[in-house]
Chains A and B, each alone.
Chain A
Amino acid sequence: MSDSSEINKLIIETVETCCDKKTVRSLIEEALQYELDIWNRHILPSTIKDEYDRMVERVIKEDKT
């Protein structure tokens, strides 16, 4: 069986083909990484909401600079 690409790579590649906006792409990448980190962990919904809000703020700020 030949070696294959990681599934996350497929997701990222597909996101890139589905959207040409850099901000949206980096926000999705960040969110997926975060979801991977907290997968199967019990995290308070308010903590998750705050983290998502921070992510959005960060991406907008980075886009401006």
Chain B
Amino acid sequence: MFGIDVTTAVSAAAGTVFGLLATELVSSLVRKQQRHEKSRDDDQDEIVATIDAVRTLADDYWTKSQEELGHTEAVLRGRIVGGIHHINLLISGLFSGDAKRSCDVAAFKFSDAAGGGTFGNPGRSSEPDRLTSIHSAALTLKHLVKSERRKLRYKPLA
């Protein structure tokens, strides 16, 4: 009788420990997934914010001539190029494979619109007509980044 009680108690204790361990394991995996997803969301938000920042800088840059901008021209140019590079860095950290390739192509089109043509040329005139292609490329890139972000799958054992 006493032996059966001990066996039952040991079994119950083992079951409780196992249950606690399993619960903790599942909780740990869920927390890891939540951190991973938040990190991806943060990267996506930073890409979108940087695209908007570069777009605003490009507005200031292309609506004035080099002469009108004076020394600010070099400042805007540096910030636009730096912003585009930051977008490329974030995309490379967030995506891989076909998703990255698609985002790279869209990022190139955005950078070409914002920093191509007469960008930085001495005596450059203002080119407000360029803003349409800049905004269009920015919206396309933002949409693509969000779309590819939604497709990312969590790999628990990765």
> Do the two shown chains form a genuine complex with each other?
no
Measuring CB to CB, which residues of chain B are less than 8 angstroms from any residue of chain A?
none
Measuring CB to CB, which residues of chain A are less than 8 angstroms from any residue of chain B?
none
